[in-house]
Structure 1
Amino acid sequence: MPDDNEMNLLGILFVFLVIAPNYLVAEESDMQLVDSFFIDNTEVTVGKFKKFAAETGIVTKAEKTGGGFVFADGWEQKVGWNWRNPFGTIANKDEPAVHITYDEASKYCEWLGKRLPMDQEWTLAAYTEKRLKANGLFKYNNTYSYPLGNKPIGANCLNDCGRSVAINYSELLDRGIGHARVGKTKAGINGLFDMGANVWEWVNIDNDDYKGTRGGSWWYGAHKMHRDSPVALKPRETAAVYIGFRCVKDR
């Protein structure tokens, strides 16, 4: 008899399937294959992080300590600003989850059987086209200056990126407008959204105290999303209004 099946007395074969809960399944339809790994098409959203928080009971550092940070005349803590209320007001479910530390982001990815990208993985996905068919916009194995090609137009940055599609939080900020909902800017290399600007994204580097962030954000001009811009190091416990993340999964 089959090891994983059962038969009833009439000889009818029954097959029992164990279905994993949705939150344990890394949906590859929401990811893009880049060489030996899959990467999320978009930054992790408030809606997705909310499911994680409900299931695990996690309370983030920004929630525990009264609020996340923004840089003005130095780092300033903003009371009540966290992933639920990134600018002090309730977020839409499709906004990027921000005010998330490196370790909180890592736990989210692990919850889905994924992980945070290594720096070299992130940069490969951001700047080098790995799709054999890229709709004629990009050429296979070509490396570009920006995640959108040779120009930054279409990203959500402070300047040099063209018309902004950001949610206007400018009344709450000393600089910039704020982030855009995920998937609303122009798709770039490998079909990915917001690898340049919108929010910084955590990446793994070989350092215990500091971790990397890539892509720049709405707070910066296009220079921070250029291929030659170095990885920006931040203490791993940083929870700020313009730092989010996306996950990867080994093939």
Structure 2
Amino acid sequence: MKPAVFFYLLILLLSCKSKTNQQEEPIKTTGSKELPKPKKAPSETPDGMVWIPGGLFKQGAVPNDEMAMAHEKPAHKVYVDGFFMDIHEVTNAQFAKFVEETGYVTMAEREIDWEEMKKQLPEGTEKPHDSILQPGSLVFKKTKSSVPNLYDYSQWWDWKIGADWKHPNGPESTIEGKEDHPVVHIAYEDAQAYCKWAGRRLPTEAEWEFAARANKTDNKFFWGDDVSKLSAHANSWEGEFPVTNTMEDGFERRAPIMSYPKNDFGLYDMAGNVWEWTSDWYNTNYYKELASSGVVVQNPKGAESAFNSSNTYAKERVIKGGSFLCSASYCASYRISARMATSPDSGMEHLGFRTVLSE
């Protein structure tokens, strides 16, 4: 079997894609003629969080963003109520405390049940060898030479048995000494479990983007529009992706939380480092349908159902913020409006989360 085909099969199996196409459902709006004014910060703020005042803003790509992708358009007005948000991504130390108190086992650590998995795959899918059907996750690998096709992700991702949040680069790696690094290899279910334990929740995509923008109405990045300041503000990929990282920003892979300047709301790493889960389903048509409704939606929760026009088997959630792998040539997702679709049951080396709390 060719490597690319084999990689695709692995992703297909481990993402547990639905056998039937997702049907688009009408997107419900909750518009109001008179939107409330943003509330003042409550008198008490939970440790490690900051108050995000909420308000009206334009979600999506700004007009001067030449790198914006089609699914970031059109920009549309939405309103979000105020909420508390973690000032940084959930760390290894925080997640370790959760696991210690609950005994929780992440999806990357669980045994794979082929009989259950094959129910969600196209009929006739052959069972991989038992040596492959073992717990693990996707780990980044640099290539030895230039990559002509940046759409072939198999060139820089390896399925590694034994890779999980405690072993982020594979079974021989460790998080010892990296307690202040963002926890990774976190599937959506894992993030939800942590939130339940902490009495929090995941942000909606609109909440996340409002918080990242921090009232910078027309800017591409949280610090402004000057991309030359990227290395001073975010952990991303410098050099030729995925061959050489010059580490101009100081790190090749994940960076400790709060290594870069905070935004105007006091939030760190809202660009780069690791991608972050939101609670929204990914639907290719969601922005278009929301904009065409002509209604300002208050506290949008995302699409009613998942739909990806590029992969109709997919059932994905929206992730935001980009990661240490983002470069101008690859995804440039350190931009505020950038978004990506990811299977809820997949964790990767560059995927983590932060939590929010309603007043």
TM-score norm. by structure 1 comes to: 0.74
Q: How does 1:36-185 map to 2 (within 5 A)?
A: 36-64=82-110, 65-70=134-139, 72-73=154-155, 75-88=157-170, 89-91=173-175, 92-129=178-215, 142=217, 144-151=219-226, 152=230, 153-159=232-238, 163-166=248-251, 177-185=252-260
Structure 1 moving runs of 4+ over 4 Å: none
Q: Which amino acid aligns with 2:89?
A: E
| Alignment correspondent of 1:188 | 263
What is the rounded CA distance, in whole Å, between the counterparts of 1:117 and 1:103 in structure 2? Answer: 14
Q: Which amino acid aligns with 2:85?
A: I
Check whether the contact 1:33–1:39 (CA below 8 A) recurs between aligned residues. yes
How far apart are residue 46 of structure 1 and its match?
0.4
Q: Which amino acid aligns with 1:125?
A: A
How far apart are residue 31 of structure 1 and its match?
0.7
Which stretches in structure 1 are left out of the alignment for 5+ residues? 1-25, 130-140, 167-176
Residue 68 and residue 125 in structure 1: after superposition, are their counterparts in 2 closer, same or farther (change >3 A)?
same
| Alignment correspondent of 1:242 | 350
Overall identity of the aligned pairs, in %: 31
Check whether the contact 1:32–1:41 (CA below 8 A) recurs between aligned residues. yes
Check whether the contact 1:127–1:143 (CA below 8 A) recurs between aligned residues. no
Correspondence 1:233 to 2:341:
yes
What is the rounded CA distance, in whole Å, between the counterparts of 2:268 and 2:106 in structure 1? Answer: 25
Question: Please, what is the CA RMSD of the aligned residues?
Answer: 2.3
| Alignment correspondent of 1:204 | 279
How far apart are residue 72 of structure 1 and its match?
4.1
Check whether the contact 2:234–2:334 (CA below 8 A) recurs between aligned residues. no
Q: Which amino acid aligns with 1:200?
A: W
State the aligned residue count. Answer: 204
> Which segment is superposed worse, 82-91 or 205-214?
205-214
What is the rounded CA distance, in whole Å, between the counterparts of 1:217 and 1:243 in structure 2? Answer: 8
How far apart are residue 162 of structure 1 and its match?
8.0
Correspondence 1:221 to 2:327:
yes
Which stretches in structure 2 are left out of the alignment for 5+ residues? 1-43, 54-81, 111-133, 140-152, 240-245, 281-302, 307-314
How far apart are residue 114 of structure 1 and its match?
0.5
